[in-house]
């Protein structure tokens, strides 16, 4: 990469951090506001009926807030495809930033495309719905991973402020998601779906405007792509435009009924495709990358963590699918005489993150001082166990709903609390694990695999959520029981792997100490 001047690395203007953090903080905040706000409405809008039955005679009248009228299975499959595509496109988005645009320009282009997508969704036309989703997917692929990269480039190598800087950046995600749940969910459910989508678009427009105005604060951080011949770069740009145009055309053909697809079948094939991509790449690294024995051992650890991350996100992303529909159909949303929007329940996650993130960080530090800090695999296992407990709570809530029709919101709040604890045990250390154990020559690509785990988990969340609600309450418990067993089994495997790696590390340390002792004894004998 061309050498770039960083104008902000030495300043402490923004709470002791480079002033460029201002730009990135608010860009990420508005982007997450639009993403999570829209996501909270997605399944609810797709399943909202075109008509509703009123009165004792069962009179059918147009629904005041109609949606697409899809089944729960179809809606959750589309939801899963959307979430999976968002995270999958981070990989080509990162490549384009590295080699074509530079990270700063990639973020700008991505933000504009996202805003265009939300504006498209805001149009009161069902025909443009999927086109809007495509725009959001493409834009997020360019923005999501690259804005995090710029955060790291604001600091010089060895700057101890960088971890705290990412913590501040992480807070923007939670503030943005909270705003999205509050504003977008309220407008969508209480005023009209497209008002909610429009609010997400307005938020993203704010993000674009402030990024353009404050971009100068970033200096030269991650501004230039890798050095390559201009002709080669132009070729990459041309084929990127062709690929994006082809995706838009395919969606357009689908909108006009020229081509059609079954959402669940597509989601299943998409899951298989993503899994094959992961399998092929791990196989390539094991067999053809020329890794050392130690690097292959570490890669095996990352493979196990990858599977654990896939499982975790397949449950965590249920908040926008099956858990939202459970809240809609089987939860009493009356709070002090006011029927709260369903999306407000998802406010629990960012609130719990703000409350418990410092507690978890302090707990790990205290355990570290006592030489009791769990290894990375064990922390992953703890995250999976919390996720298992959350679905134990949901199974109890389902059984209760079968008896009394609707249950209190406390069951969903407890579920979200346990899932947040799982997130804090697993997510913050996931990238750390891939950074620590990834082969150094492939560290950037291994970060792409971390996002690929989120992509597979997102698609699975839609498939599992659809299976859970295919027959109403009766079909929920078997699916959730399967997920509990899966999490517990993977957690046990991770504990075993963690213990194995601890043994190898201790054995390696012992060997090093023995070698040093032998060298010292040999030196003493020679001197005597």
Q: Are residues 491 and 387 in the same domain?
A: yes
Instruction: Determine phi and psi for 89, rounding to 5 degrees.
Output: -70, -10
Q: Do 33 and 178 belong to one domain?
A: yes
**CATH at residue 378:** 1.20.1250.20
**pLDDT value of residue 512:** 64
Q: Residues 6 or more apart from 173 whose CB is under 8 A from it?
A: 28, 29, 32
Q: How far apart are CA 320 and CA 183, in angstroms?
A: 16
Q: Is the dihedral of CA 180, 181, 182, 186 positive or negative?
A: positive
Classify 515 as helix, strand or coil: helix
DSSP 190-250: II-HHHHHHHHHHHHHHHHHHHHHHGGGGTTTT-SPPP--HHHHHHHHHHHHHHHHHHHHH
Are 305 and 244 contained in the same domain?
Answer: no
Domain that holds residue 500: 263-528
**Structural domain total, the chain:** 2
DSSP letter for 10, please.
Answer: T
CB atoms within 10 A of CB 519: 10
- Residue 3 belongs to a domain: no
Asked whether residue 135 is domain-assigned, the answer is yes
State residue 94's pLDDT score: 85
At 234 the pLDDT is: 79
Residues 6+ apart with CB under 8 A from 519: none
Q: How far is CA 212 from CA 24, 107, 228, 327, 508, in A?
A: 11, 10, 27, 39, 52
Judge whether 2 lies within some domain. no
Whole-angstrom distance, CA of residue 379 vs CA of residue 390: 17
Structural domain ending residue among the three candidates 261, 284, 318: 261
Rounded to whole angstroms, the Cα distance separating 528 from 526 reads: 5
Taking the C-alpha atoms of residue 318 and residue 36, their distance in angstroms, rounded to an integer, is: 13
How far, in Å, CA of 337 to CA of 357, rounded?
A: 32
Instruction: Return the pLDDT at 491.
Output: 93
Query: How far from 398 is each of 177, 324, 479, CA to CA, in Å?
Result: 27, 14, 12
- 94 within 8 A of 451, measured Cβ to Cβ: no
3-class state of residue 17 by DSSP: strand
Residues 501 and 476 in one domain: yes
Q: Are residues 459 and 314 in the same domain?
A: yes
Taking only the tens of pLDDT, the chain with its 528 residues reads: 444 444 444 666 666 788 888 999 999 999 999 999 999 999 999 999 887 766 566 566 778 889 999 998 999 999 999 999 999 988 888 888 888 888 899 999 999 999 999 999 999 888 789 889 989 999 999 998 888 888 878 888 777 777 677 778 888 988 999 999 999 999 999 999 999 999 999 999 999 999 999 999 888 877 777 777 777 777 877 877 787 788 777 766 765 667 777 888 889 999 999 999 999 989 988 998 888 888 888 888 889 889 999 999 999 999 988 999 999 999 999 998 899 999 999 999 999 998 998 888 888 888 888 888 788 888 899 999 999 999 999 999 999 999 988 999 999 999 999 999 999 988 877 766 776 777 877 766 777 788 899 999 999 999 999 888 877 788 888 999 999 999 999 999 989 888 887 776 665 666 666 677 667 777 777 776
* Cα–Cα nearest to 89, from 109, 74, 70, 118: 109
């Amino acid at each position: 990469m061309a050498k770039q001047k960083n104008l902000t690395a030495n300043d402490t203007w923004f709470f002791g951090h480079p002033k460029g953090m201002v730009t990135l903080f608010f860009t990420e905040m508005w982007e997450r506001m639009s993403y999570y706000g829209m996501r909270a409405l997605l399944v609810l809008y797709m399943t909202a009926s075109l008509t509703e039955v009123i009165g004792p005679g069962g009179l059918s009248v147009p629904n005041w807030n109609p949606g697409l009228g899809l089944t729960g299975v179809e809606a959750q499959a589309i939801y899963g495809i959307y979430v999976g595509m968002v995270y999958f496109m981070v990989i080509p988005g990162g490549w384009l930033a590295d080699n074509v645009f530079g990270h700063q320009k990639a973020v700008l282009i991505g933000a504009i495309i996202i805003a265009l997508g939300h504006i498209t969704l805001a149009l009161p036309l069902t025909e443009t719905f999927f086109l809007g989703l495509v725009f959001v997917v493409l834009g997020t692929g360019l923005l999501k991973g690259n804005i995090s990269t710029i955060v790291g480039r604001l600091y010089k190598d060895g700057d101890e402020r960088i971890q705290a800087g990412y913590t501040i950046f992480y807070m923007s995600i939670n503030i943005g998601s909270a705003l999205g749940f509050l504003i977008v969910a309220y407008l969508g459910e209480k005023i009209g779906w497209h008002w909610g989508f429009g609010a997400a678009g307005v938020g993203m427009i704010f993000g674009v405007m402030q990024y353009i105005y404050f971009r100068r604060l970033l200096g030269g951080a991650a501004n230039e792509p890798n050095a390559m011949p201009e002709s080669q770069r132009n070729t990459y740009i041309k084929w990127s435009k062709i690929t994006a145009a082809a995706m838009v055309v395919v969606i357009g053909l689908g909108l006009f009924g020229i081509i059609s697809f079954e959402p669940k079948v597509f989601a299943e094939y998409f899951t298989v495709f993503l899994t094959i991509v992961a399998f092929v790449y791990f196989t390539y690294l094991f067999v053809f990358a020329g890794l050392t024995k130690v690097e292959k051992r570490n890669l095996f650890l990352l493979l196990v963590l990858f599977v654990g991350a896939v499982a975790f996100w397949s449950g965590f992303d249920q908040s926008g699918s099956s858990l939202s529909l459970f809240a809609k159909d089987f939860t009493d949303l009356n709070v002090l005489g006011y029927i709260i929007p369903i999306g407000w329940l998802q406010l629990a996650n960012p609130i719990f993150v703000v409350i418990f993130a410092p507690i978890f960080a302090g707990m790990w530090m205290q355990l570290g001082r006592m030489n009791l800090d769990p290894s990375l695999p064990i922390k992953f296992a703890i995250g999976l166990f919390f996720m298992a407990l959350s679905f134990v709570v949901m199974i109890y809530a389902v059984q209760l709903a079968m008896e009394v029709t609707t249950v209190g919101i406390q069951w969903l709040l407890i579920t979200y609390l346990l899932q947040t604890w799982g997130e804090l045990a697993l997510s913050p250390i996931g990238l750390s694990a891939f950074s620590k154990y990834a082969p150094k020559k492939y560290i950037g690509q291994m970060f792409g695999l971390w996002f690929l785990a989120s992509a597979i988990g997102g698609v699975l969340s839609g498939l599992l959520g659809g299976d859970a609600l295919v027959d109403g309450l009766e079909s929920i418990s078997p699916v959730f029981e399967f997920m509990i067993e899966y999490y517990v089994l993977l957690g046990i495997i991770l504990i075993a792997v963690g213990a194995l790696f601890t043994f190898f590390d201790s054995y390696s340390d012992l060997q090093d100490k023995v070698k040093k002792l032998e060298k010292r004894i040999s030196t003493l004998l020679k001197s005597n």
